[in-house]
């Protein structure tokens, strides 16, 4: 198993980073929150989990080992694959997920794309004794991982190499879409929409 990769960030995409390790570019799937902290040309260390399939080997990367461990534990529940586990960590921090499971908060889990009410109920039962107890300083259930979608989206665009002005314009362009959602918008979806507006402008 590849426990972590450490090297220079060679490239960033909406859902992945390429980290150069010993002359080899390792493509690592990451959440928008993890990607927003990376910068092209800067050193980075990502804690990773290697998912092996018949036709692929995929590395999933996280800012810390706690998130990586939760990613692995989430997949022990039936019906949860790596993509859904990553989506859960894109919406909630590890402790927010622990708190949701500990308190039986269906609403927090249904905030994740791909999880309906029945699926949330099933996950709450299966994960109850697997994730552990939340830390005393854990954020409230359903709270965004960062202070606001605007800051998170802006940081992600800067990390992808766009100028501050371009990032500002893209955030403004997707604001109506974010506000139409109500509640906490999905930054991953907003990032894709923002990239589309930037590509059209070029």
Q: What is the domain partition of the chain in residue ranges?
A: 4-62, 66-127, 149-201
State which fold the 149-201 domain adopts: Helicase, Ruva Protein; domain 3 (1.10.8)
- pLDDT 10s digits, 22-65: 999 999 999 988 998 999 999 999 999 999 888 889 999 999 99
- pLDDT 10s digits, 88-106: 999 999 999 999 998 999 9
Question: In the prediction, which pLDDT does 142 show?
Answer: 44
Question: Phi, psi at residue 106, to the nearest 5°?
Answer: -65, -40
The average pLDDT across 108-118 equals 91
Length of the chain counted residue by residue: 202
State which fold the 66-127 domain adopts: DNA polymerase; domain 1 (1.10.150)
Classify domain 4-62 by CATH architecture: Beta Barrel (2.40)
């Amino acid at each position: 198993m590849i426990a972590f990769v450490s090297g220079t960030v060679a490239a960033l995409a909406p859902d992945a980073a390429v980290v150069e390790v010993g002359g080899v570019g390792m493509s690592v799937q990451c959440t928008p929150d993890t990607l927003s902290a990376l910068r092209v040309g800067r050193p980075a260390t990502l804690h990773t989990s290697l998912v092996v399939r018949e036709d692929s080997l995929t590395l999933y990367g996280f800012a810390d080992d706690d998130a990586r461990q939760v990613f692995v534990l989430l997949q022990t529940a039936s019906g949860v694959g790596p993509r859904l586990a990553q989506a859960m960590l894109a919406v909630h921090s590890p402790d927010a997920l622990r708190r949701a499971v500990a308190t039986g908060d269906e609403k927090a889990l249904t905030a994740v794309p791909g999880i309906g009410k029945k699926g949330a109920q099933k996950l709450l039962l299966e994960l109850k004794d697997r994730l552990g107890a939340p830390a005393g300083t854990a954020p409230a259930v359903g709270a965004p991982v960062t202070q606001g979608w605007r800051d998170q989206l802006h940081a992600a665009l800067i990390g992808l190499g766009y100028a501050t002005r371009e990032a500002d314009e893209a955030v403004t362009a997707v604001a109506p879409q974010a506000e139409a959602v109500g509640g906490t918008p999905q930054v991953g979806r907003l990032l894709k929409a923002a990239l589309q507006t930037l590509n059209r402008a070029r």
